[in-house]
Structure 1
C-alpha cells in the first residue's frame, strides 16, 4: 500500500533533491514510475512490520506512518549511496517500525489485532513418556 505522496516527499527532501535522484531519463522532472517503485518498496516494508500487529490495509494513515514511508522511499531513491542524514532517517524509520510492531509505539487511530487466547485457560504438555519415573527408581532413593 502507498502511504505517502510525491508532495510529502518534496516537502521533506526538497524539489531539487527529488529531481536529482528520481529523474532517470534526464527530462528535468522526477519519473513517476521511479517514485511509484520507491513508495511501493516503502509500503511493503511498512506492511511487513505492521502486519503482525495491525489489520492490513491500514484504514487510517497516521502521520508517523507517512513520515516513515517518506524516509524509506527517499533512501531507496538514492541508488548510488544516500547521504548520512538520509541513511539516519531510514534507520530511524525501521527502528520505529520495529517498536510499533512490538507495541512499544502508538499509532493514533489504529486498533491492534487482539492476541489469540486459550479457550480453556489450562496448560497442556505433550511429549514422550518420562525415562525415569518413581516406579523405575524404586530402591535407588
Structure 2
C-alpha cells in the first residue's frame, strides 16, 4: 500500500494516523517519532479496516466516513497496538542514530566484502557508502 493512495488522503485517515503516531512517540521517548514508522502502520491499518468492509469494495477508494465512529476507533486501537508490538522487537531501528539499522548495514557491507570482493571494491572505488543505498532496505 502506498501513502499516496486515495484513502490516505482522507482527513479522517490522516488524523487517525497522526493520533497513533503521536501517542506512540509520547509513550516511547527514547525514540519519539522517526521517519518510516508510518510505513509500518500502513499494512496494519489496511488489515483492520478490511474487517469492516465487504470483499468487493476497493479499499483504495473506500470512504472511511461511512464507518461508524465506534468501528473507526476499533481500527485505530488495533492498528496502534499491532504497530507497537511490532516495534518492540525492532525499536533499535527507531532510536537516535538508528543503531539497529546501522548494524544491519555494516553487516551487509561485511557480507558483500566476503562473498563479492570485486563488487565491494567497485563500490569503494566509486566512493559509494553502503549507508547511501542500503538504509531504506533495512528500514
TM-score after normalising by structure 1 = 0.36
Whichever of the two has the greater Rg, that structure is 1
Name the structure where helix makes up a greater proportion of residues: 2
TM-score, normalisation: structure 2: 0.36
